[in-house]
Structure 1
């Protein structure tokens, strides 16, 4: 088994991004600026926002955080103001949102949509047009490309169909000429699908639900899961058992999440460049 170390991939992205940011600052005398919105009191969301703040500080990227509780109109107005503010180049909304507020995500200017979650961004991704791509989905491809894993002609199974991971990563894989099967809670004979896959990307949010006996010895596993159980971070794949069987696998932590953090920073820079017409 070969461990697909996300730290190496993340470091490469970080190094390149720092060079790019220095060039942008010298060229424009300006820096990207991110605002993160949180609706409600979820502690995990707030903790994640603080991690993003730390990453922004390391890159010299401006950061604002706005928490809104039980005021839907204020949330809507705040999003609209962020769109109109020329000093804010990137907008991020912590999810999940209450169902009655989800439609407000469509208010985000697609050029500032660093998570690639608006219908405009996802539609462009589907059509193969230039757009901001959901960071976790792109992180999966970054890992596969870094380790020079051939995708063309390979059979890939994506387990999970969310708008921020499963669906976009399936499109990215197809763009690399992989043959993609989407699996989910209603899939019949899931084990057969997994055992007949060259590449398996798991993003269902259930700790260690995928066991070694469900996988092939020749498969490459990308585990997107981030499940906190008794203070410990676990993936969706049972790493201990799977690592003794499969060909390659990402660890949790130290895998996809580590790369996602840097891809998100890169999206902030891309957003800034789009708004300022920088090639």
Structure 2
């Protein structure tokens, strides 16, 4: 079994971005500027914003964080201003959001949508146009590419159909000419589907749901899961049992999540280039 270490890939992306950001500053006299907007007091969202801030500072990206409590009108007003402000080149809206603000995600300027979550961004991905792709879906592809894992003609099974991972990664795999099967909570025989797979993308959000006995010995496993159980981070795949059987697997932590963090940074730089008319 080969462990697909995401830390190596993340470090490579980070170092490339540091150099690119430096050159962009010399060329334009400006820096990419991310604003993160949070509504409410969700501690996990706040902690995530702090990790993003650290990554931005490491690369040379300007970071701004604003939190709103019981001010839905002001939240939308600031979001509109961020869309229009030429100094702000990237926008993230932290989730979860209350029902009365869920439509605010669609307010984000697609050119500043570094998470690739608006219908405009996802629509471009669907038809194969250049856009800002969801970072986790892109991270899955980055890992496959880095380790020279064949995709063309391979059978890929994606477990999970979210708009930020399952659906977009299925499209990215199809663009690389994989035959893709989408599985979810209502799939009749998940084990049968998994045993046919050359590549498995596990993004269902259920700790260690996929056991080694459900997989075939030649499969490549990309585990997107981030489940905190009793203070421990676990993937959607039971790593120990899977590692005894499969050809290669990403660890949790140290796999997809690590790469995702740097892909988000790359999207922030990409949005800066789009807004300044710099060839990507």
Match of 1:240 in 2: 240
> Structure 1 unaligned runs (5+)?
none
Do the aligned partners of 2:37 and 2:66 also contact (CA within 8 Å) in 1?
Answer: yes
Map 1:221-232; keep pairs closer than 5 Å.
Answer: 221-232=221-232
For the aligned residue pairs, the C-alpha RMSD in angstroms reads 0.8
**Helix, strand or coil for the counterpart of 2:56?**
helix
Once residues 239 and 250 of structure 1 are traced to their aligned partners in structure 2, the CA distance between those partners, rounded to angstroms, is 9
Match of 1:22 in 2: 22
Once residues 244 and 165 of structure 2 are traced to their aligned partners in structure 1, the CA distance between those partners, rounded to angstroms, is 26
Once residues 253 and 135 of structure 2 are traced to their aligned partners in structure 1, the CA distance between those partners, rounded to angstroms, is 17
Relative to the length of structure 1, the TM-score reads 0.98
**Helix, strand or coil for the counterpart of 1:102?**
helix
**Helix, strand or coil for the counterpart of 1:15?**
helix
Once residues 215 and 72 of structure 1 are traced to their aligned partners in structure 2, the CA distance between those partners, rounded to angstroms, is 47
**Helix, strand or coil for the counterpart of 2:36?**
strand
Map 1:118-133; keep pairs closer than 5 Å.
Answer: 118-133=118-133
Match of 1:45 in 2: 45
Match of 1:181 in 2: 181
State the number of aligned residues: 279
Once residues 97 and 177 of structure 1 are traced to their aligned partners in structure 2, the CA distance between those partners, rounded to angstroms, is 36
Do the aligned partners of 2:224 and 2:235 also contact (CA within 8 Å) in 1?
Answer: yes
Write out per-residue CA displacement over residues 252-275 of structure 1, whole angstroms, 9 at most, x where no aligned residue: 000000000000000000000011
Map 1:259-274; keep pairs closer than 5 Å.
Answer: 259-274=259-274
Q: Does 1:68 align with 2:39?
A: no
Match of 1:142 in 2: 142
> Structure 2 unaligned runs (5+)?
none
**CA shift at 1:104, angstroms?**
1.0
Do the aligned partners of 2:126 and 2:171 also contact (CA within 8 Å) in 1?
Answer: yes
Once residues 67 and 83 of structure 2 are traced to their aligned partners in structure 1, the CA distance between those partners, rounded to angstroms, is 17
Following TM superposition, where does structure 1 have runs of at least 4 consecutive aligned residues deviating by more than 4 angstroms?
none
**CA shift at 1:70, angstroms?**
2.3
Do the aligned partners of 2:18 and 2:60 also contact (CA within 8 Å) in 1?
Answer: no
Map 1:190-269; keep pairs closer than 5 Å.
Answer: 190-269=190-269
Once residues 15 and 62 of structure 1 are traced to their aligned partners in structure 2, the CA distance between those partners, rounded to angstroms, is 17
**Helix, strand or coil for the counterpart of 1:158?**
strand
Relative to the length of structure 2, the TM-score reads 0.98
Once residues 145 and 50 of structure 2 are traced to their aligned partners in structure 1, the CA distance between those partners, rounded to angstroms, is 29
Write out per-residue CA displacement over residues 191-216 of structure 1, whole angstroms, 9 at most, x where no aligned residue: 10001100000111111111111111
Once residues 167 and 175 of structure 1 are traced to their aligned partners in structure 2, the CA distance between those partners, rounded to angstroms, is 13
Once residues 70 and 200 of structure 1 are traced to their aligned partners in structure 2, the CA distance between those partners, rounded to angstroms, is 42
